[in-house]
Every structure is written in structure tokens, then in C-alpha cells.
Amino acid sequence: MREYEFKLATEGSSRLMAWKRRFDKRVKSKMLSIGDGANDVAMIQAADIGIGVMGKEGRQAVNNSDFAIAQFKHLVRLLLVHGQISDYRLANLIIYSFYKNMCFAAVLFAFQFFCAYTGQTLVDDIAAALFNVVFTSVPILFFSVMDRKVSNTTLVTFPQTYNKSDLIGLLSFWRRGVLHGVLDGAASFAVPYLSLNVTDIAGTAGLFCLGKTCFFALLGAVTLEMIAMTKYWTPFLAVVIFLSYFLAYAFIYVLPWALMLFDVYDPAQVGVADALLSSPSFYLAVLGANASTLGFRLFVLWVRAAVKPSDMEVLSAREQRPNPWDDVPAKTRERLAGLGVRLPDR
């Protein structure tokens, strides 16, 4: 910021708006404005995020703002607590939504190499329609409302963590949302396909049985990803994740009977549940696929935590241990010291 521009900006709202436009052209960032009176309305509306303070000068600033606070000191909690938690939840919501859809698309894409590119779908229409609507929508919904990485006290105590999140970024999106989804989707297809005897005409070797096996391997992969993402566990969230996965097993068993009540015959449903749920190869194929996807995920998390942990990960590990200084690695102790934490002697 040039000194003369700052001097002009302090002389009035019109010059402040002109300075703001020039500032936006030079700096690719977001601007927050805060005011408590009607004279601040233009400034609040021009900024990317406007905050109004309720006070004696009326409610015009509040009525034209994005957020309203009672006192200026509440800005600390609004930015450091609510801002960082909202950033964490929305980033994971967006990335996970792309991830699970990339997994589903990768399963269908991989199958095309084994069906002579005929366009034959591996997963039946009913399961495909309910994948996003029922089986995977509820856990991420409650995750984006309830989860947090560290406590509110830690966020306020260590303001250095503000605006250091690497969740929202081009590299993080392509790595976690796209590449990770493609790899997990490919594993969800490859392990069941190679495990089952697809040349047989009985048992679990048919197209519909293979499709259901890949579907449950895929559903298990995205559910385990949700479990690996969750940092703040509550009994309610655990029940939601548990039911969203295991209700799918009851669904494929009840669905053929429900279709028969309406005189609907679907070859992709009739007899498939009986063949799969009574076959050990089905459970082994699903467990093998989920073990490969979860193992890769845990390996990546372990390497990152050991080589280059983020500030949030270091503070989260500090919170989770009742006596954190007994077995904290040297690199983690150095990071905590850099954040201003007073480390006791061993």
C-alpha cells in the first residue's frame, strides 16, 4: 500500500472506494469492512464481506451487512472461531462431494474396458440414483454442521493459524477431490472384478452380482473416507455414518420384494441379494477393496503427519493427548514452539 493512497483513503468514503478498486487490481485477496453507522453503508457494501455493529447510531450498518455483531471485540471470535470453522467445513464438504462422485464415475469408467465399450452400466439404475440421494448425502451433511478440527479455545489462543488453511486450493482439490477419488474408484472395481470368477454362470459371477459387489465396495470406500476425515466425534454422527452404510444391505434385500408388490420385474434385483449375502467371496471382495483404499489413505496421513504436519494438525494432536509432552516428536515440539507454546522440560 502506498503512503499517499492511504492518506487519501482516510479523507472520505468516496476516496476510500476509489482506493479499494485500485487495491483489488493489484492484490488478489478479499476485503472485510466493519462499521457501526449509516455513513459506513457504502464501505460495507463495497467490501467482499461487510460487518455491521449494532449500536446507538441505528441499524443501517447492520441491515446492509453480511454479519452483525454487538460489539467490536466480538470480531475476534467471528473471524478466528466461526470463520475458520466455516472454512474447514465448507472446504471438506466441497472436496468430499467431488471425491465420492469421482469414485462412482471411476467405477463405471473402468468397467468399460471389460465390456467392449458397449455402454453397459455396471451399477443398476436404482442403486445409482440412491447413491448420492440416500446412502452418502446424510453423513456429509451432519459432518459439515458438527465437525471441527480443534476447540474454540485453541483457535482464539493461537491466531497464527488464521488464513493458513490449505483445504481450499487448486492443488488440494485435484489431489483429494479428483485424484484420490479416481484411485479409490479404480480399486473398488478392480478388487471385486479380480476376486470373483466372472467366467462362471452361477453364484456371484454374473453382471448384476458383480455390479452390486463393486457398489458396496464403493460405498465402503466413501464411508471410510468420511470416518478418516472426521475429527470431532459425537454419538449422533457415529450413528448416522453407521446407519447410512449398513442400511444399504437391508435395502438390497427388501427392494425385490417391494418391486413384486407393484408387479415390477427387475432382473438386476431378483435373487441378487440372496446370492451375495450368502457368499463369503462377496464379503472378502468388499473387505479387500476397502482395506486397499483405507490403507492408502492412512499411509498418506501418516507420511504427512511425520514429514510436514500443518499447524492445525499439531494443535489437534496436542489437544487429543492428556499428557502431550511425553511422546511428542522433536519436529512437532519445534512447530509448537514456533506458535508460541511454552514447552516444559522433559
| pLDDT tens for each residue of 151-167 | 888 888 888 888 777 77
pLDDT reported for residue 40: 84
Asked whether the predicted pLDDT for residue 179 surpasses 80, the reply is: yes
* Per-residue CA distances from 37 to 13, 71, 227 (Å): 13, 13, 46
For cell 441379494, what's the residue? Answer: 273
Q: Give the pLDDT band (50/70/90) at residue 170.
A: confident
Q: Are 326 and 345 spatial neighbours (Cβ–Cβ below 8 Å)? A: no
Q: What is the pLDDT of residue 12?
A: 53
Choice between 194 and 24, residue whose per-residue pLDDT is larger: 194
Query: How far apart are the C-alpha atoms of 304 and 159, rounded to whole Å?
Result: 23
Query: pTM value?
Result: 0.81
By CB atoms closer than 10 A (0-12, 13-18, 19+), residue 266 is middle
pLDDT at 107: 94
Q: Which residue has the cell 464415475?
A: 105
Q: 10 pLDDT exceeds 60?
A: no
**Pairwise CA distance, residues 96 & 82, whole Å:** 21
**Rounded average pLDDT over 174-182:** 91
pLDDT tens digits, 290-310? 999 999 889 988 888 888 888
Give the mean model confidence (pLDDT) for residues 221-238: 92
Q: What is the DSSP string of 324-335?
A: TTSS--HHHHHH
- pLDDT top residue among 142 and 197: 142
What rounded mean pLDDT belongs to the chain?
82
SS3 167: coil
Q: Which residue has the higher pLDDT, 262 or 218?
A: 218
Rg (CA), the chain: 26
Alpha helix stretches (DSSP H) within 81-162:
84-112, 125-130, 137-146, 152-157
Average pLDDT rounded to a whole number, residues 209-228: 93
Name the more confident of 21 and 206.
206
